[in-house]
Protein backbone atom coordinates (compact mmCIF):
# COMPACT_ATOMS: atom_id res chain seq x y z
CA UNK A 1 0.00 0.00 0.00
CA UNK A 2 1.33 3.45 -0.86
CA UNK A 3 2.04 5.88 1.97
CA UNK A 4 -0.82 8.12 0.88
CA UNK A 5 -3.31 5.22 0.77
CA UNK A 6 -2.14 4.18 4.22
CA UNK A 7 -2.66 7.77 5.39
CA UNK A 8 -6.11 7.92 3.85
CA UNK A 9 -7.10 4.70 5.57
CA UNK A 10 -5.70 5.97 8.87
CA UNK A 11 -7.89 9.09 8.63
CA UNK A 12 -10.93 7.13 7.54
CA UNK A 13 -10.63 4.93 10.62
CA UNK A 14 -10.14 7.87 12.94
CA UNK A 15 -12.77 10.14 11.41
CA UNK A 16 -15.81 7.96 10.74
CA UNK A 17 -18.66 8.66 13.12
CA UNK A 18 -22.09 7.18 13.73
CA UNK A 19 -23.90 10.42 14.57
CA UNK A 20 -23.97 13.75 12.70
CA UNK A 21 -20.64 15.41 11.97
CA UNK A 22 -19.29 18.33 10.00
CA UNK A 23 -16.62 18.08 7.32
CA UNK A 24 -13.69 20.38 8.08
CA UNK A 25 -11.49 19.61 5.08
CA UNK A 26 -9.14 17.03 3.59
CA UNK A 27 -5.90 15.58 4.95
CA UNK A 28 -2.48 16.78 3.79
CA UNK A 29 0.59 14.52 3.75
CA UNK A 30 4.11 15.83 3.03
CA UNK A 31 2.56 19.15 2.01
CA UNK A 32 0.38 17.47 -0.64
CA UNK A 33 -3.40 17.57 -0.12
CA UNK A 34 -4.79 14.04 -0.42
CA UNK A 35 -8.03 14.02 -2.37
CA UNK A 36 -11.17 13.00 -0.43
CA UNK A 37 -9.31 12.14 2.81
CA UNK A 38 -12.03 13.91 4.77
CA UNK A 39 -11.47 15.11 8.31
CA UNK A 40 -14.71 15.57 10.24
CA UNK A 41 -15.75 16.60 13.71
CA UNK A 42 -18.62 14.86 15.47
CA UNK A 43 -21.31 17.24 16.71
CA UNK A 44 -21.75 15.12 19.78
CA UNK A 45 -18.49 16.17 21.44
CA UNK A 46 -18.60 19.86 20.54
CA UNK A 47 -19.79 20.65 24.05
CA UNK A 48 -16.29 19.60 25.09
CA UNK A 49 -15.03 22.99 23.92
CA UNK A 50 -12.19 23.92 21.61
CA UNK A 51 -9.27 26.08 20.61
CA UNK A 52 -8.53 27.73 17.27
CA UNK A 53 -4.99 29.10 17.31
CA UNK A 54 -2.39 30.39 14.88
CA UNK A 55 -0.23 33.33 13.86
CA UNK A 56 -1.83 36.41 12.37
CA UNK A 57 -3.33 35.92 8.91
CA UNK A 58 -3.18 32.12 8.97
CA UNK A 59 -6.96 31.60 8.79
CA UNK A 60 -8.30 31.43 12.37
CA UNK A 61 -11.27 33.68 11.79
CA UNK A 62 -12.23 31.85 8.60
CA UNK A 63 -12.07 28.54 10.50
CA UNK A 64 -14.39 30.02 13.10
CA UNK A 65 -16.70 31.12 10.27
CA UNK A 66 -16.59 27.63 8.68
CA UNK A 67 -17.45 25.86 11.94
CA UNK A 68 -20.21 28.32 12.87
CA UNK A 69 -21.87 28.08 9.46
CA UNK A 70 -21.68 24.28 9.37
CA UNK A 71 -23.24 24.24 12.85
CA UNK A 72 -25.99 26.55 11.62
CA UNK A 73 -26.66 24.28 8.63
CA UNK A 74 -27.05 21.45 11.17
CA UNK A 75 -29.56 23.48 13.17
CA UNK A 76 -27.15 24.47 15.94
CA UNK A 77 -27.18 28.18 16.88
CA UNK A 78 -24.01 29.98 17.89
CA UNK A 79 -22.77 33.20 19.45
CA UNK A 80 -19.67 34.87 18.00
CA UNK A 81 -17.69 37.51 19.86
CA UNK A 82 -16.51 39.61 16.95
CA UNK A 83 -13.67 41.83 18.15
CA UNK A 84 -12.38 42.86 14.78
CA UNK A 85 -15.69 43.24 13.01
CA UNK A 86 -14.80 40.69 10.35
CA UNK A 87 -17.59 38.15 10.78
CA UNK A 88 -20.72 39.91 9.54
CA UNK A 89 -20.28 38.36 6.07
CA UNK A 90 -21.84 35.15 7.41
CA UNK A 91 -25.23 36.71 6.62
CA UNK A 92 -24.54 36.73 2.86
CA UNK A 93 -23.68 33.96 0.37
CA UNK A 94 -20.04 33.51 -0.59
CA UNK A 95 -18.84 33.52 -4.18
CA UNK A 96 -17.35 30.82 -6.31
CA UNK A 97 -13.82 31.40 -7.62
CA UNK A 98 -11.05 29.05 -8.87
CA UNK A 99 -9.42 29.01 -5.42
CA UNK A 100 -12.69 27.87 -3.81
CA UNK A 101 -13.40 25.35 -6.60
CA UNK A 102 -9.98 23.76 -6.13
CA UNK A 103 -10.55 23.27 -2.40
CA UNK A 104 -14.07 21.99 -3.00
CA UNK A 105 -12.87 19.33 -5.49
CA UNK A 106 -9.94 18.17 -3.35
CA UNK A 107 -12.14 17.80 -0.27
CA UNK A 108 -15.01 16.24 -2.20
CA UNK A 109 -17.86 18.49 -1.05
CA UNK A 110 -20.60 20.48 -2.71
CA UNK A 111 -20.19 24.22 -2.64
CA UNK A 112 -23.50 26.07 -2.45
CA UNK A 113 -22.94 29.73 -1.60
CA UNK A 114 -25.30 30.34 1.36
CA UNK A 115 -26.04 33.23 3.69
CA UNK A 116 -27.05 32.16 7.20
CA UNK A 117 -29.56 33.70 9.61
CA UNK A 118 -27.60 36.35 11.50
CA UNK A 119 -28.51 38.56 14.44
CA UNK A 120 -26.15 41.49 15.04
CA UNK A 121 -25.74 42.47 18.70
CA UNK A 122 -23.86 45.07 20.74
CA UNK A 123 -23.00 45.93 24.32
CA UNK A 124 -22.26 49.55 23.46
CA UNK A 125 -23.26 51.85 20.62
CA UNK A 126 -22.88 49.64 17.57
CA UNK A 127 -25.85 48.97 15.34
CA UNK A 128 -27.71 45.87 16.57
CA UNK A 129 -29.63 44.25 19.41
CA UNK A 130 -28.64 45.88 22.70
CA UNK A 131 -27.39 43.34 25.26
CA UNK A 132 -27.86 44.52 28.82
CA UNK A 133 -28.00 43.14 32.34
CA UNK A 134 -29.13 44.69 35.59
CA UNK A 135 -26.84 45.16 38.58
CA UNK A 136 -29.23 42.98 40.62
CA UNK A 137 -28.79 40.15 38.15
CA UNK A 138 -25.05 40.49 38.33
CA UNK A 139 -25.16 39.98 42.08
CA UNK A 140 -22.57 41.04 44.66
CA UNK A 141 -20.08 38.28 43.83
CA UNK A 142 -19.65 39.11 40.14
CA UNK A 143 -19.89 42.81 40.82
CA UNK A 144 -17.07 42.58 43.41
CA UNK A 145 -15.15 40.36 41.06
CA UNK A 146 -15.03 42.87 38.23
CA UNK A 147 -14.15 45.72 40.53
CA UNK A 148 -11.46 43.57 42.17
CA UNK A 149 -12.68 44.37 45.67
CA UNK A 150 -10.97 43.10 48.80
CA UNK A 151 -12.77 41.10 51.48
CA UNK A 152 -13.93 44.13 53.49
CA UNK A 153 -15.26 45.84 50.37
CA UNK A 154 -16.95 42.61 49.31
CA UNK A 155 -18.65 42.52 52.68
CA UNK A 156 -20.10 45.97 52.06
CA UNK A 157 -21.30 44.94 48.61
CA UNK A 158 -22.98 41.87 50.08
CA UNK A 159 -24.68 44.12 52.63
CA UNK A 160 -25.89 46.53 49.96
CA UNK A 161 -27.43 43.72 47.91
CA UNK A 162 -28.99 42.16 50.98
CA UNK A 163 -30.46 45.51 52.02
CA UNK A 164 -31.88 46.09 48.53
CA UNK A 165 -33.28 42.56 48.33
CA UNK A 166 -35.09 42.80 51.65
CA UNK A 167 -36.33 46.33 51.07
CA UNK A 168 -37.35 45.66 47.47
CA UNK A 169 -35.09 48.27 45.96
CA UNK A 170 -34.29 47.16 42.42
CA UNK A 171 -30.66 47.76 41.48
CA UNK A 172 -30.97 48.26 37.76
CA UNK A 173 -27.99 50.35 36.77
CA UNK A 174 -24.79 51.79 38.24
CA UNK A 175 -26.63 54.96 39.22
CA UNK A 176 -28.78 52.85 41.57
CA UNK A 177 -25.77 51.14 43.08
CA UNK A 178 -24.03 54.46 43.70
CA UNK A 179 -27.17 55.90 45.27
CA UNK A 180 -27.51 53.04 47.74
CA UNK A 181 -23.82 53.19 48.65
CA UNK A 182 -24.17 56.89 49.30
CA UNK A 183 -27.32 56.29 51.38
CA UNK A 184 -25.58 53.67 53.49
CA UNK A 185 -23.11 56.16 54.96
CA UNK A 186 -25.34 59.26 54.93
CA UNK A 187 -29.12 59.46 55.35
CA UNK A 188 -29.45 55.74 55.99
CA UNK A 189 -26.51 55.47 58.35
CA UNK A 190 -28.63 54.96 61.47
CA UNK A 191 -30.94 52.41 59.87
CA UNK A 192 -28.06 50.41 58.38
CA UNK A 193 -26.04 50.43 61.58
CA UNK A 194 -29.07 49.09 63.44
CA UNK A 195 -29.63 46.36 60.88
CA UNK A 196 -26.09 45.34 59.94
CA UNK A 197 -23.56 47.23 62.08
CA UNK A 198 -21.40 50.22 61.16
CA UNK A 199 -20.05 50.64 57.63
CA UNK A 200 -16.81 52.52 57.07
CA UNK A 201 -17.17 55.59 54.81
CA UNK A 202 -13.60 55.00 53.57
CA UNK A 203 -14.57 51.56 52.26
CA UNK A 204 -17.65 52.98 50.56
CA UNK A 205 -15.52 55.71 48.96
CA UNK A 206 -13.15 53.14 47.53
CA UNK A 207 -16.03 51.17 46.03
CA UNK A 208 -17.43 54.42 44.58
CA UNK A 209 -14.09 55.11 42.90
CA UNK A 210 -14.06 51.61 41.40
CA UNK A 211 -17.57 52.11 40.01
CA UNK A 212 -16.45 55.33 38.35
CA UNK A 213 -13.55 53.41 36.83
CA UNK A 214 -16.05 50.91 35.41
CA UNK A 215 -18.17 53.73 34.05
CA UNK A 216 -15.12 55.13 32.30
CA UNK A 217 -14.86 51.82 30.43
CA UNK A 218 -18.41 52.33 29.18
CA UNK A 219 -20.18 50.00 31.59
CA UNK A 220 -23.13 52.40 31.98
CA UNK A 221 -24.38 51.30 28.59
CA UNK A 222 -24.29 47.70 29.62
CA UNK A 223 -26.02 47.85 33.00
CA UNK A 224 -29.75 48.44 32.86
CA UNK A 225 -33.05 47.21 31.53
CA UNK A 226 -34.43 45.45 29.58
CA UNK A 227 -31.96 42.70 30.36
CA UNK A 228 -31.16 40.15 27.72
CA UNK A 229 -32.62 36.68 28.02
CA UNK A 230 -30.04 34.15 26.91
CA UNK A 231 -32.76 31.84 25.55
CA UNK A 232 -32.91 34.32 22.67
CA UNK A 233 -29.54 33.00 21.51
CA UNK A 234 -31.11 29.61 20.94
CA UNK A 235 -33.17 30.13 17.81
CA UNK A 236 -33.48 28.51 14.41
CA UNK A 237 -34.85 29.98 11.20
CA UNK A 238 -35.96 27.48 8.54
CA UNK A 239 -34.06 24.77 10.38
CA UNK A 240 -30.80 26.76 10.39
CA UNK A 241 -29.25 27.79 13.69
CA UNK A 242 -29.18 31.57 14.19
CA UNK A 243 -25.66 33.02 14.34
CA UNK A 244 -25.61 35.84 16.90
CA UNK A 245 -22.67 38.11 16.20
CA UNK A 246 -21.78 40.34 19.14
CA UNK A 247 -19.93 43.28 17.65
CA UNK A 248 -17.19 44.25 20.04
CA UNK A 249 -14.88 46.32 17.85
CA UNK A 250 -15.03 49.22 20.24
CA UNK A 251 -14.06 47.17 23.27
CA UNK A 252 -10.43 46.28 22.53
CA UNK A 253 -9.09 48.94 24.87
CA UNK A 254 -11.69 48.23 27.55
CA UNK A 255 -10.62 44.77 28.71
CA UNK A 256 -12.40 44.88 32.06
CA UNK A 257 -15.76 45.40 30.46
CA UNK A 258 -15.06 42.56 28.05
CA UNK A 259 -14.05 39.97 30.63
CA UNK A 260 -16.97 41.03 32.83
CA UNK A 261 -19.36 40.66 29.98
CA UNK A 262 -17.94 37.25 29.11
CA UNK A 263 -18.27 35.93 32.62
CA UNK A 264 -21.78 37.30 33.03
CA UNK A 265 -22.85 35.74 29.77
CA UNK A 266 -21.39 32.36 30.68
CA UNK A 267 -22.89 32.34 34.15
CA UNK A 268 -26.28 33.50 32.87
CA UNK A 269 -26.29 30.66 30.33
CA UNK A 270 -25.18 28.25 33.01
CA UNK A 271 -28.02 29.25 35.33
CA UNK A 272 -30.72 29.45 32.72
CA UNK A 273 -30.20 26.37 30.57
CA UNK A 274 -31.45 23.01 31.85
CA UNK A 275 -29.08 20.09 32.28
CA UNK A 276 -28.72 18.18 29.05
CA UNK A 277 -27.41 14.65 29.15
CA UNK A 278 -25.46 13.10 26.29
CA UNK A 279 -27.02 14.71 23.23
CA UNK A 280 -26.39 14.14 19.52
CA UNK A 281 -25.44 17.77 19.05
CA UNK A 282 -24.77 20.83 21.22
CA UNK A 283 -27.54 23.23 22.09
CA UNK A 284 -25.40 26.32 21.54
CA UNK A 285 -21.76 27.07 20.68
CA UNK A 286 -19.91 30.19 21.76
CA UNK A 287 -16.87 31.47 19.86
CA UNK A 288 -14.53 34.03 21.35
CA UNK A 289 -12.25 35.58 18.74
CA UNK A 290 -9.12 37.34 20.05
CA UNK A 291 -9.60 35.44 23.31
CA UNK A 292 -6.28 36.62 24.74
CA UNK A 293 -8.13 39.83 25.60
CA UNK A 294 -10.28 37.87 28.06
CA UNK A 295 -7.37 36.28 29.78
CA UNK A 296 -4.51 38.78 29.66
CA UNK A 297 -6.25 41.32 31.86
CA UNK A 298 -8.31 39.09 34.11
CA UNK A 299 -7.45 38.76 37.80
CA UNK A 300 -6.60 35.35 39.23
CA UNK A 301 -9.98 35.20 40.87
CA UNK A 302 -11.82 36.00 37.66
CA UNK A 303 -9.78 33.35 35.83
CA UNK A 304 -10.79 30.77 38.39
CA UNK A 305 -14.43 31.68 37.87
CA UNK A 306 -14.13 31.47 34.09
CA UNK A 307 -12.39 28.12 34.40
CA UNK A 308 -15.08 26.78 36.73
CA UNK A 309 -17.96 27.95 34.56
CA UNK A 310 -16.35 26.59 31.37
CA UNK A 311 -16.11 23.22 33.06
CA UNK A 312 -19.73 23.23 34.24
CA UNK A 313 -21.41 24.68 31.20
CA UNK A 314 -20.58 21.54 29.22
CA UNK A 315 -23.40 19.62 30.90
CA UNK A 316 -25.84 22.22 29.59
CA UNK A 317 -24.91 21.30 26.03
CA UNK A 318 -22.89 24.47 25.46
CA UNK A 319 -19.50 24.44 23.72
CA UNK A 320 -17.03 27.31 24.15
CA UNK A 321 -14.34 27.92 21.53
CA UNK A 322 -11.37 30.19 22.08
CA UNK A 323 -9.67 31.77 19.08
CA UNK A 324 -6.22 33.21 19.75
CA UNK A 325 -2.70 33.56 18.36
CA UNK A 326 -0.83 31.05 20.52
CA UNK A 327 -2.27 28.39 22.80
CA UNK A 328 -0.12 29.82 25.58
CA UNK A 329 -2.52 32.81 25.65
CA UNK A 330 -5.05 30.49 27.28
CA UNK A 331 -4.35 29.41 30.89
CA UNK A 332 -3.36 25.75 31.25
CA UNK A 333 -6.37 25.02 33.44
CA UNK A 334 -8.71 26.07 30.62
CA UNK A 335 -6.52 24.60 27.86
CA UNK A 336 -6.72 21.18 29.51
CA UNK A 337 -10.50 21.21 29.08
CA UNK A 338 -10.55 21.81 25.35
CA UNK A 339 -11.50 18.81 23.22
CA UNK A 340 -11.19 20.23 19.70
CA UNK A 341 -7.91 21.77 18.62
CA UNK A 342 -7.46 23.53 15.31
CA UNK A 343 -3.90 24.80 15.21
CA UNK A 344 -2.95 27.02 12.30
CA UNK A 345 0.67 27.83 11.46
CA UNK A 346 2.89 29.39 14.11
CA UNK A 347 5.82 31.61 13.23
CA UNK A 348 9.18 31.40 14.99
CA UNK A 349 10.68 34.87 15.25
CA UNK A 350 12.09 34.81 18.78
CA UNK A 351 13.42 32.33 21.33
CA UNK A 352 10.09 32.56 23.15
CA UNK A 353 8.25 31.69 19.92
CA UNK A 354 10.41 28.57 19.53
CA UNK A 355 9.67 27.58 23.12
CA UNK A 356 5.95 28.11 22.58
CA UNK A 357 6.07 25.98 19.44
CA UNK A 358 7.74 23.02 21.10
CA UNK A 359 5.32 23.33 24.04
CA UNK A 360 2.38 23.41 21.63
CA UNK A 361 3.71 20.37 19.73
CA UNK A 362 3.92 18.39 22.98
CA UNK A 363 0.21 18.97 23.56
CA UNK A 364 -0.80 17.11 20.40
CA UNK A 365 -1.23 13.36 19.92
CA UNK A 366 1.92 11.68 18.52
CA UNK A 367 1.59 10.88 14.83
CA UNK A 368 3.52 8.47 12.60
CA UNK A 369 2.81 10.79 9.67
CA UNK A 370 4.08 14.12 10.96
CA UNK A 371 6.88 15.84 12.82
CA UNK A 372 4.50 18.09 14.69
CA UNK A 373 6.90 20.96 15.45
CA UNK A 374 8.02 21.17 11.82
CA UNK A 375 4.47 21.01 10.49
CA UNK A 376 3.45 23.76 12.92
CA UNK A 377 5.80 26.25 11.28
CA UNK A 378 5.42 25.16 7.66
CA UNK A 379 1.63 25.04 7.15
CA UNK A 380 0.04 27.34 4.57
CA UNK A 381 -2.90 29.74 4.97
CA UNK A 382 -6.25 28.00 5.50
CA UNK A 383 -4.50 24.85 6.68
CA UNK A 384 -4.32 23.55 10.24
CA UNK A 385 -3.33 20.68 12.47
CA UNK A 386 -6.53 19.21 13.82
CA UNK A 387 -7.49 16.82 16.56
CA UNK A 388 -11.01 16.43 17.94
CA UNK A 389 -12.74 14.09 20.35
CA UNK A 390 -14.45 11.10 18.80
CA UNK A 391 -17.87 9.98 19.99
CA UNK A 392 -16.26 7.99 22.78
CA UNK A 393 -14.38 11.08 23.97
CA UNK A 394 -10.99 9.81 22.73
CA UNK A 395 -8.75 12.20 20.73
CA UNK A 396 -8.90 11.61 16.98
CA UNK A 397 -5.63 11.12 15.06
CA UNK A 398 -3.65 14.28 14.40
CA UNK A 399 -4.34 15.52 10.88
CA UNK A 400 -2.82 18.30 8.80
CA UNK A 401 -5.93 19.62 7.07
CA UNK A 402 -6.71 21.75 4.03
CA UNK A 403 -9.77 23.53 5.40
CA UNK A 404 -12.97 24.00 3.46
CA UNK A 405 -13.84 27.51 2.27
CA UNK A 406 -16.74 29.26 4.00
CA UNK A 407 -20.06 29.02 2.11
CA UNK A 408 -20.89 32.52 3.28
CA UNK A 409 -19.16 35.73 2.26
CA UNK A 410 -15.55 36.09 3.47
CA UNK A 411 -15.76 39.88 3.31
CA UNK A 412 -17.76 42.07 5.70
CA UNK A 413 -21.22 43.56 5.15
CA UNK A 414 -21.60 47.12 3.92
CA UNK A 415 -23.21 49.70 6.23
CA UNK A 416 -26.34 49.53 4.11
CA UNK A 417 -26.52 45.74 4.45
CA UNK A 418 -26.03 46.02 8.22
CA UNK A 419 -28.81 48.60 8.42
CA UNK A 420 -31.18 46.33 6.48
CA UNK A 421 -30.35 43.32 8.64
CA UNK A 422 -30.87 45.25 11.89
CA UNK A 423 -34.13 46.80 10.72
CA UNK A 424 -35.59 43.33 10.12
CA UNK A 425 -34.59 41.94 13.52
CA UNK A 426 -37.38 40.89 15.88
CA UNK A 427 -34.92 41.09 18.80
CA UNK A 428 -34.10 44.74 18.08
CA UNK A 429 -37.78 45.50 18.54
CA UNK A 430 -37.78 43.58 21.80
CA UNK A 431 -34.61 44.93 23.40
CA UNK A 432 -33.80 48.33 21.91
CA UNK A 433 -36.33 50.18 24.01
CA UNK A 434 -35.64 52.55 26.86
CA UNK A 435 -37.32 51.53 30.09
CA UNK A 436 -37.43 54.06 32.86
CA UNK A 437 -38.85 52.32 35.85
CA UNK A 438 -38.56 53.39 39.45
CA UNK A 439 -35.50 51.71 40.85
CA UNK A 440 -33.30 52.08 43.93
CA UNK A 441 -32.28 55.59 42.91
CA UNK A 442 -35.79 57.04 42.69
CA UNK A 443 -37.14 55.03 45.62
CA UNK A 444 -34.40 56.17 47.96
CA UNK A 445 -34.76 59.77 46.80
CA UNK A 446 -38.47 59.58 47.66
CA UNK A 447 -37.70 57.99 50.99
CA UNK A 448 -35.14 60.66 51.84
CA UNK A 449 -37.35 63.58 50.88
CA UNK A 450 -40.29 62.14 52.83
CA UNK A 451 -38.08 61.68 55.87
CA UNK A 452 -36.84 65.25 55.53
CA UNK A 453 -40.37 66.62 55.22
CA UNK A 454 -41.47 64.58 58.22
CA UNK A 455 -38.50 65.71 60.27
CA UNK A 456 -39.25 69.35 59.40
CA UNK A 457 -42.92 69.03 60.33
CA UNK A 458 -42.18 67.28 63.57
CA UNK A 459 -39.03 69.24 64.38
CA UNK A 460 -40.36 71.16 67.39
CA UNK A 461 -42.38 68.79 69.58
CA UNK A 462 -41.75 65.08 70.48
CA UNK A 463 -39.35 64.24 67.71
CA UNK A 464 -38.13 60.89 68.95
CA UNK A 465 -41.01 58.41 68.79
CA UNK A 466 -42.47 59.56 65.51
CA UNK A 467 -39.21 58.84 63.69
CA UNK A 468 -39.41 55.09 64.02
CA UNK A 469 -43.15 55.04 63.28
CA UNK A 470 -42.50 57.02 60.10
CA UNK A 471 -39.81 54.63 59.00
CA UNK A 472 -42.25 51.75 58.94
CA UNK A 473 -44.70 53.84 56.91
CA UNK A 474 -41.98 54.83 54.48
CA UNK A 475 -40.96 51.26 54.02
CA UNK A 476 -44.48 50.27 53.09
CA UNK A 477 -44.61 53.16 50.65
CA UNK A 478 -41.47 51.84 49.02
CA UNK A 479 -42.96 48.37 48.88
CA UNK A 480 -46.00 49.79 47.14
CA UNK A 481 -43.99 51.83 44.66
CA UNK A 482 -41.69 49.04 43.76
CA UNK A 483 -44.20 46.22 43.53
CA UNK A 484 -44.54 46.31 39.78
CA UNK A 485 -40.87 46.62 39.07
CA UNK A 486 -40.17 43.80 41.41
CA UNK A 487 -42.44 41.18 39.88
CA UNK A 488 -39.92 40.07 37.28
CA UNK A 489 -37.00 41.11 39.40
CA UNK A 490 -37.88 38.82 42.28
CA UNK A 491 -37.99 35.69 40.14
CA UNK A 492 -34.60 36.57 38.78
CA UNK A 493 -33.22 37.47 42.16
CA UNK A 494 -34.05 34.05 43.55
CA UNK A 495 -32.13 32.56 40.65
CA UNK A 496 -29.33 34.96 41.30
CA UNK A 497 -29.17 34.00 44.95
CA UNK A 498 -28.45 30.45 43.81
CA UNK A 499 -25.60 31.45 41.55
CA UNK A 500 -24.30 33.86 44.08
CA UNK A 501 -24.05 30.80 46.29
CA UNK A 502 -22.50 28.66 43.59
CA UNK A 503 -19.97 31.25 42.51
CA UNK A 504 -19.19 32.01 46.13
CA UNK A 505 -18.68 28.38 47.00
CA UNK A 506 -16.32 27.89 44.08
CA UNK A 507 -13.93 30.49 45.33
CA UNK A 508 -14.35 29.05 48.81
CA UNK A 509 -13.41 25.56 47.65
CA UNK A 510 -10.41 26.78 45.75
CA UNK A 511 -8.75 28.32 48.75
Q: Which residues sit at the interface with ligand ATP, rule CB under 6 A?
A: 54, 56-62, 66, 381-382, 403, 405, 410
Find the length of the chain.
511
Least distance to ligand ATP from the beta carbon of 282, Å? Answer: 22
Least distance to Mg ion from the beta carbon of 217, Å? Answer: 23
Q: Which is nearer to ligand ATP, 73 or 312 (CB)?
A: 73
Q: Which is nearer to ligand ATP, 208 or 410 (CB)?
A: 410
Q: Which is nearer to Mg ion, 21 or 61 (CB)?
A: 61
Q: Is 256 left (phi over 0), alpha (psi -120 to 50) or beta?
A: alpha
61 binds Mg ion (CB under 5 A): yes
Q: Which is nearer to ligand ATP, 62 or 281 (CB)?
A: 62
The interface partner of residue 410, options being Mg ion, ligand ATP, none and the CB cut-off 5 to 8 Å by kind, is ligand ATP
Least distance to ligand ATP from the beta carbon of 383, Å? Answer: 8
| Residues 6 or more apart whose Cβ sits within 8 Å of residue 42 | 17, 19, 20, 21, 388, 389, 390, 391
Q: Which is nearer to ligand ATP, 56 or 253 (CB)?
A: 56
Q: How far apart are CA 67 and CA 78, in angstroms?
A: 10
Looking at beta carbons, which residue is closest to Mg ion?
61
Count CA within 13 A, CB hemisphere, residue 60: 27
375 binds Mg ion (CB under 5 A): no
Q: Which is nearer to ligand ATP, 98 or 274 (CB)?
A: 98
CB 398 within 8 A of CB 384: no
Q: Which is nearer to ligand ATP, 52 or 135 (CB)?
A: 52
Least distance to Mg ion from the beta carbon of 252, Å? Answer: 13
Least distance to Mg ion from the beta carbon of 8, Å? Answer: 31
The interface partner of residue 382, options being Mg ion, ligand ATP, none and the CB cut-off 5 to 8 Å by kind, is ligand ATP
38 binds Mg ion (CB under 5 A): no
Q: How far apart are CA 351 and CA 368, in angstroms?
A: 27
- Give the β-pairing of 240-241 and 236-237: antiparallel
Query: What DSSP string describes 476-510?
Result: HHHHHHHHHHHHHHHHHHHHHHHHHHHHHHHHHHH
Strand residues in 272-375 grouped as ranges (E) = 284-288, 318-324, 340-343
The interface partner of residue 178, options being ligand ATP, Mg ion, none and the CB cut-off 5 to 8 Å by kind, is none
Binding to Mg ion in span 301-330, by CB under 5 A: none
CB 40 within 8 A of CB 390: no
Q: Which residues bind Mg ion (CB under 5 A)?
A: 60-61
Amino acid sequence: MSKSDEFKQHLEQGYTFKGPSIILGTGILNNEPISHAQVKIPLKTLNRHGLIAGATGTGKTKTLQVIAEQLSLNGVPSVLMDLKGDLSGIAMPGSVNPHVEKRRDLIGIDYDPTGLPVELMTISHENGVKLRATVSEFGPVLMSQIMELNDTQRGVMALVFRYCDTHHLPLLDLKDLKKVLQYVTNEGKEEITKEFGAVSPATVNTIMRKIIELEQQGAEDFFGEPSFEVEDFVRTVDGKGVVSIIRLTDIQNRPKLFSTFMLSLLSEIYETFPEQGDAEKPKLCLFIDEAHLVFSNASKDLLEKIEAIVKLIRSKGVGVFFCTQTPTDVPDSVLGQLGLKVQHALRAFTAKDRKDISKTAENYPISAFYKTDETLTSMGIGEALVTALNEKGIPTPLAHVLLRPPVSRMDILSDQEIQTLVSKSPLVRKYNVELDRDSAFELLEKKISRAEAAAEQASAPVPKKTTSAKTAKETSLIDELSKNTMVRQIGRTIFRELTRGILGSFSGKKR
